[in-house]
Structure 1
Amino acid sequence: MATATALASSRLATTSPATTITLKGSTALVTEFFHYAVNSVLFQRGIYPPETFTRVAKYGLTMLVTTEAALTDYLSATLGQVAEWLGRGELQALVLAVASVETGAVVERWVFDVEASDDGEGKEGGATAAAASGGGGGIKAPKEEKAVTAEIQAIIRQITASITFLPLLEDACTFDLIFYVSAAAATPDECEESGGRCVVNAQQVQLRSFDTGVHRVHTLVAYARQEE
């Protein structure tokens, strides 16, 4: 029995680092999700013409991503900054606001709230260090990337299905990305303070969430309530 216990402990010590999502890994997962989520919204809501998107395989799904050079460069630079904020624990939310080109009114608001997971799983030295020190009582099993991918897949499916309940965007629309960061966060010169860009007379639909064990992301969409 003693030998079996020692063997089990040895296996835990050698395999848990491979299955635990670290802060760096979580930051990459969340940033990547934002990339595909934003592209999905822009395609599904017709913000850019469908012919400017290309198909790629991701999360076990066929995803659509922009081929517009200017938009690609903008998203790459913007999400690079997002990754820095995430890594420092400074990002509180990313918002994609869809507005009418003609009136400037915000007609849809896609909100991705970010919070730190409560249990500290996956943080550098977190669950692994506790297990090594013998203080593993009550610590849940490390979150595996496969489980996170399944949760993200469910959100992407919901974004794709959103056309079944969101009002038709009759006017040409544009979009803005808005970031909520902690007061102490450093912001690049090209960023400027902005209002919340809220939807007037909004109706909200809460979508699914995903949890990497380090970051938890909650998703909802708010849209202009149609007149009866």
Structure 2
Amino acid sequence: MFEYVENYWVEFLTIASVHILAVASPGPDFAVVLKHSIRYGRRLALITSVGVGVGILVHVAYSLLGIGLLIKANPDLFKLISYVAAAYLFYIGFGAIRSKAPSNQTTTDSLATSVVISDKKAFMIGFLTNGLNPKATLFFLSIFAVVVSADTPNLVKLGYGLYLALATSLWFCFLSIILSSDKVRAFIGAKGYWFDRVMGAVLILLAISLIIP
């Protein structure tokens, strides 16, 4: 293992540096975590964040299996993935944009209790949002084609993937803690349903951007 670290640390540092820029860029993952942080509170936002991180393992899996080469060589297959991702983002965006005003709730706690989702659903939303993200697909295709050598053992590539999953989870957990703070949620207040609608519109626009060049 120490030999692997010594031989491939340049690859790792390159991947880690590129990943920092990629994960910090606003996208579907950020929109969903932001929405859940405000709407459902810290716990469910953290679960969603873990789902986003685990979703990266989908991209790691097809990259290690060589399916990434097939996707790269077949534009129609990539387009199909983009359409599926767009449909999913549109679905959760449309659900958010239909959020209704709470009847008699004016406290910040109402944002987390007016609508309840299960831990499993929170995790799966994060997982699918990242797992179906074509931008993440492009990222991994680029990383494994340009940065990672063809001679790099699959065990090392798997280590890269596990790191990316962990780093992504930690980043979005950090955002969840900040965005679900009492001050942020108090600022939103009883008008949280308007925030929900805005984030729904953002998700729908992201969906449209995936199918319209």
Indicate the TM-score class for this superposition, using the shorter chain for normalisation. Answer: 0.3 to 0.5
Larger Rg: 1
- The structure richer in helix per residue is 2
Q: State the structure with bigger RCO (CA 8 A, min sep 6), 1 or 2.
A: 2
